[in-house]
Amino acid sequence: MIYTIDKPIWKRNFVISANGLKTPRLVRLRSASAKNTPLLALHAGLDSLSPVLATTHLPFLSRRFYFLVGNGRWECMDTVFGPGPRHCWSMDLRCRRGRASFAWKRTRSLAVDGMTVSAWSQGNWKLVDDDDGRVLAVFTNQHGCGRCGRLQINVDYGPDFDNMVLMTLLALYCCLSTVG
């Protein structure tokens, strides 16, 4: 599935749409003054009164993100430095019968189907399976007024996985760019 992620100018939210979604979704970004609320909250519809599907927390002075998605279990994402930063997280998957580990890495060679990547671009990401190195998702940054980019998820591991992919990507996007 390919998601289009937009951030309207002067708004503190992202709008996520896709061909397979009946209604677009809203991801609300907390205001700077609201320290005890989630950094991000994924809503099932286009307003903040819609049911919350997932949240992201970033404790003060921490480099570890915490996510609450679907099953009520907290997951975390850590940054690992080496021959390039990797942002690692894991979650339980029914289709894999247990815990699976993933990592977001920057890419300058992969793009969402139908898009191209500039060799100089810093905002493109790929999600790889830590066990076998397969590319499970790709995010291609789009420059333009109110545009963030497109996310292509290449596997069908269920809605909780898709929501976790969206939330981990947007956490990186928010904290590694000048959004908000």
For residues 170 and 162, give the distance between their C-alpha atoms in angstroms, rounded to a whole number. 12
Closest CA to 131 of 103, 167, 93: 103
| 47 CA to centre of own chain | 19
For residues 19 and 6, give the distance between their C-alpha atoms in angstroms, rounded to a whole number. 15
Q: Is 174 helix (H, G, I), strand (E, B) or coil?
A: helix
**Residues 31-50: what's their mean pLDDT?**
78
pTM beyond 0.95: no
Q: Which amino acid makes up residue 68?
A: L
* pLDDT (tens digit per residue) in 77-89: 988 877 777 889 9
For the cut 70, the answer to whether the pLDDT of residue 34 exceeds it is no
- Residues 63-83 as b/e (b if ≥16 CB within 10 A, e otherwise) read eebbbbbeeeeebebeeeeee
* pLDDT (tens digit per residue) in 90-110: 998 877 777 899 999 988 888
**pLDDT value for 33:** 56
**Residues 125-141: what's their mean pLDDT?**
92
Question: Which residues does residue 55 pair with via DSSP β-bridges, in sequence order?
Answer: 41, 68
**Residues 125-132: what's their mean pLDDT?**
92
* Bigger pLDDT: 117 vs 121: 117
**pLDDT value for 70:** 76
Q: Where are the beta strands (DSSP E) in 44-180?
A: 52-57, 65-69, 73-80, 86-93, 98-106, 125-129, 135-141, 147-153
Question: Please, what is the end-to-end C-alpha distance for the chain in angstroms?
Answer: 27
pLDDT band at 178 (very low <50, low <70, confident <90, very high): very low
